[in-house]
Amino acid sequence: MQLFPARQGFHWNWIVTGVLVMTGIYLISRLFLPFSFLSWIAFCVAYALGGALIGYFSPGLTFLEPAIAALISVALVNLYLLFSGLGVLILLFKLVIGFALALAGAFFGEKLQWEK
C-alpha cells in the first residue's frame, strides 16, 4: 500500500502561493514579536506551517514546491544579510533551516491530506 500517489509534474503556482503564505506568516508574526529568541520561533513556525498548508491544500504530491518556496521567501526576507559582516553565513543557515522545515511541513500536510 502506497502512502502517497505518484508525483505528477511540477506546480509553479504552488511555489508562488508558498512564497506569499510563508512570507506573510513570518512578517505578520514579526509585527508582534521583538528581535529575540521569539523571532527564531516565528521563523520556524512560519516555514513549517507554510509547508504544511501548501502540502495539505495542493492537489497531488507537492513536497518540493513548499521547500523551494521557503528558499525564495527566506532569501527575500533576509536579503539585507548579504550586506552585513557575517550575513552570508547566517543567510545560508536560514536557507537550510527554512528548506528543511518547509519540507517537513509539506510531508506532514501531504500525510494529513491523504488520510482524510
Range of the domain at 101: 37-115
Interhelix angle 87-115/64-77, rounded to 10 degrees, is 150
> What's this model's pTM, rounded to 2 decimal places?
0.84
Residue 64 maps to a domain: yes
The band of 1, judged by pLDDT with boundaries at 50, 70 and 90, is: very low
Asked whether residue 49 is assigned to any structural domain, the reply reads yes
- The single-letter code of the amino acid at 73 is S
21 within a domain of the structure (yes/no): no
Single-letter code of the amino acid located at 21: V
**For the chain, what's the residue count?**
116
| Reported confidence tier of residue 8, pLDDT bands at 50, 70, 90 | low
Q: How many domains does the chain have?
A: 1
pLDDT digits (tens, 9 = 90+) for 60-71: 888 899 999 999
What would the pLDDT profile of 13-54 be if each residue is shown by its tens digit?
999 999 999 999 988 888 887 777 888 888 899 999 999 999
Residue 10 lies in a domain: no
The neighbour count for residue 108, using CB atoms within 10 Å, is 16
Q: How many CB atoms lie within 10 A of CB 84?
A: 10
Alpha helices in 33-86 (DSSP H): 37-57, 64-77
In a domain, 73, yes or no: yes
Instruction: Classify residue 103: in a domain, yes or no.
Output: yes
